[in-house]
Structure formats: structure tokens, C-alpha cells
Amino acid sequence: MKVSGFSHITLQVRDLQASLEFYQGILGMNVRHRGRIDAYLEWGSAWICLLERTVTKEPLGEYAGMDHVAFYIAEDDFNEAVGILQKHHVEIVRGPVQRGTGWSVNFLDPDRIQLELHTSTLDERMQVWR
């Protein structure tokens, strides 16, 4: 199996409009499609689907499920992005902090899904991750 990069992730959200206000309005993602219960957004070469679910599944256990979704951001754009998060009172749960050869900031969306902006590539991270 030869995976060539990040394709997409689908996030279940409680309120599609509130999530769009966050992902499009604050993070600046481009909406490519808006349906009745879903939206597809693009951010550079990454894309996500937001899927509104009013009934959520029962948790599978303490460690099951997604931990966080990380997006690459150029180091030159990192501080501006952190400033945007702070300006909009987005809850930052870690950082900004230097991790490996890059900088990271972890924050929560309206459904408390943890997202990360990170400035290094996988190759750069693996050079120091021993």
C-alpha cells in the first residue's frame, strides 16, 4: 500500500452552522460544498468533511477514537495563525510550543475536537524523533 499524503477526515459535529462559522470564518477554510447535513472544506492541499449528527454514537472506551487532526502550516505564517486563534478566543490546549524541528499549537473547535497547526514535515520530525 502506497499512501501519498493526507486526503481528508470526516468530523461529526452537532451544529453544522456553528462549525462552519469556526472552520470557514475563523480558520479561513474554503467551502467547496454545502449540503443539508454536510459541508466539504479545503485548506491548502488538505480537505475535511463536516457531517452533522444530532445523535452521537456511544464512546468505545477511554482511548478509542480520534486524538487530534494536525495541519501543516509554514513557519512564516504560524504566529499570525496563533494570533487569529487568540483574537477569536479559541481555546488553546497546548502551545505554542516547539516540537521537534517545528512549532505546534493545539486548540479546540466548537465540538471540542482537538486540532493542531504544525510547522514541520514528517521527514523533518523523524530526523529528531528517535
Domains, the chain, with CATH or none: 6-55 (3.10.180.10), 66-130 (3.10.180.10)
Of residues 90 and 53, more confidence is placed in 90
**For residue 8, pLDDT beyond 80:** no
**For residue 4, pLDDT beyond 80:** no
**For residue 61, pLDDT beyond 90:** no
Instruction: Count CA atoms within 13 Å of residue 97 on its CB side.
Output: 9
Contact 72, 44 (CB under 8 A): yes
Burial environment of residue 25 by CB neighbours within 10 A (0 to 12, 13 to 18, 19 or more): exposed
User: Comparing 19-28, 56-65, 98-107, 116-125, which segment has the lowest mean pLDDT?
Assistant: 56-65
pLDDT band at 97 (very low <50, low <70, confident <90, very high): very high
Q: Residue 122: its pLDDT value, please?
A: 67
Q: Which of 42, 62, 91, 116 is catalytic?
A: 116
CA distances from 106 to 63, 81, 88, 100, 125 (A): 19, 12, 15, 15, 17
Q: Residue 1: its pLDDT value, please?
A: 44
Q: Is 124 a catalytic residue?
A: no
Of residues 56 and 113, more confidence is placed in 113
pLDDT band at 60 (very low <50, low <70, confident <90, very high): very low
Q: Residue 68: its pLDDT value, please?
A: 82
User: 0.85 cut: is pTM over it?
Assistant: no
Q: Span 32-55, mean pLDDT? A: 85
Rg (CA), the chain: 15
How many angstroms separate the CA atoms of 121 and 102, rounded?
Answer: 8
